[in-house]
Amino acid sequence: MEMQQPTEHRVALPELRITTRVLDAGSGPVVLLLHGNPDNADEWQRVIARLAPRFRCIAPDFPGYGRSPEPPRNFGYGLADQMRFVDAVLKVLRVEAPVILVVHDTGGMVGTAWAAANLDRVKGMVVTNTVAFDGFPWFAIARQWGDTSLQGRLRSSIGMAALGLRGGALFKRIFRKQCPELSETELDRFATSFAINRAAKRTTLRQFRAFMAPGFFKDFAAMRERILANIPTRVL
């Protein structure tokens, strides 16, 4: 199959005082794709290639990831600002019809909250590899990134700096072991967009400190129930 290359938009979201990159391809019903960490909109390139002949695919970088600049300090990585971000992207791209929402990893946290608050704007949802419930036993590096103590912040900063040494060699070694199916091309892409991208690493720490806070997921059970009762949903 010949891959359809998406158009890259650099869009301004004035109400949030930020800009972001959006991949946009195809025509038809809109599929909104929200990426996870430590990735960006490029993670959806192959999915877009398959869907673009029948759907309009929209995949934004979350602020600070990929080729999007780090947002100002007044942009929080709690759910409210990230949901406003999704609204702003759809507004600037003039998407008014209900979307098919596809989410991955940390994008699923935002997507779950946004879908639950906008049931009439979602015609279907696909959830992949995400955490959307309270009490998840977070892996060690997530607990480290979410540590807001002075010592924890220092360790996280040192660890992030180490990931970028020698062109992201440590980062690639870790991911190669965890995800042996990834090609060297994909590992290089990860390293470039995250391991040696200081803005993405700073953004990651801001984001994890927000959703690792006590009570972040307390309303997610009710959100899931609203979604499952009203929206055709597939969980992978």
Band (3; pLDDT cuts 50, 70, 90) = low
> Do 97 and 147 fall within a single domain?
no
Q: Please list, in sequence order, all residues whose beta carbon lies within 8 angstroms of the beta carbon of residue 223, skipping any fewer than 6 positions away.
A: 112, 113, 115, 116, 132
Mean pLDDT of 26-51: 96
Query: Higher confidence at residue 154 or residue 132?
Result: 154
Q: Are residues 122 and 153 in the same domain?
A: no
Judgement on whether residues 120 and 143 belong to the same structural domain of the protein: no
Per-residue pLDDT, 32: 98
Instruction: With cut-offs at 50, 70 and 90, classify the pLDDT of residue 198.
Output: very high
pLDDT of residue 16: 93
pLDDT at 55 over 70: yes
Specify the pTM: 0.94
* Residue 1 in this model has a pLDDT that exceeds 50: no
Token reading at 99: 């979307």
| Number of domains the chain contains | 2
Residue 169 belongs to domain spanning: 137-214
- 127 with 145, same domain: the answer is no
pLDDT (0 to 100) of residue 201: 96
> Do 154 and 201 share a domain, yes or no?
yes
52 and 169 together in one domain: no
**What number of residues does the chain have?**
236
Spatial distance between the Cα atoms of 34 and 108, rounded to a whole number of angstroms: 7
Q: What is the pLDDT of residues 60-111, one digit of tens each?
A: 999 999 999 999 988 989 999 999 999 999 999 999 999 999 999 999 999 9
Residues 117 and 167 occupy one common structural domain? no
Cβ distance 101 to 126 under 8 Å?
A: yes
Check whether residue 93 and residue 70 sit in a common domain: yes
Same domain, 95 and 40: yes
Q: What is the pLDDT of residue 2?
A: 55
Do 55 and 82 reside in the same domain of the chain?
yes
Specify the CATH number for the domain of residue 109: 3.40.50.1820
- Confidence band for 6, pLDDT divided at 50, 70 and 90: confident
One domain for residues 60 and 168: no
Mean predicted lDDT score pLDDT of the chain = 94
Judge if 78 and 120 occupy the same domain. yes
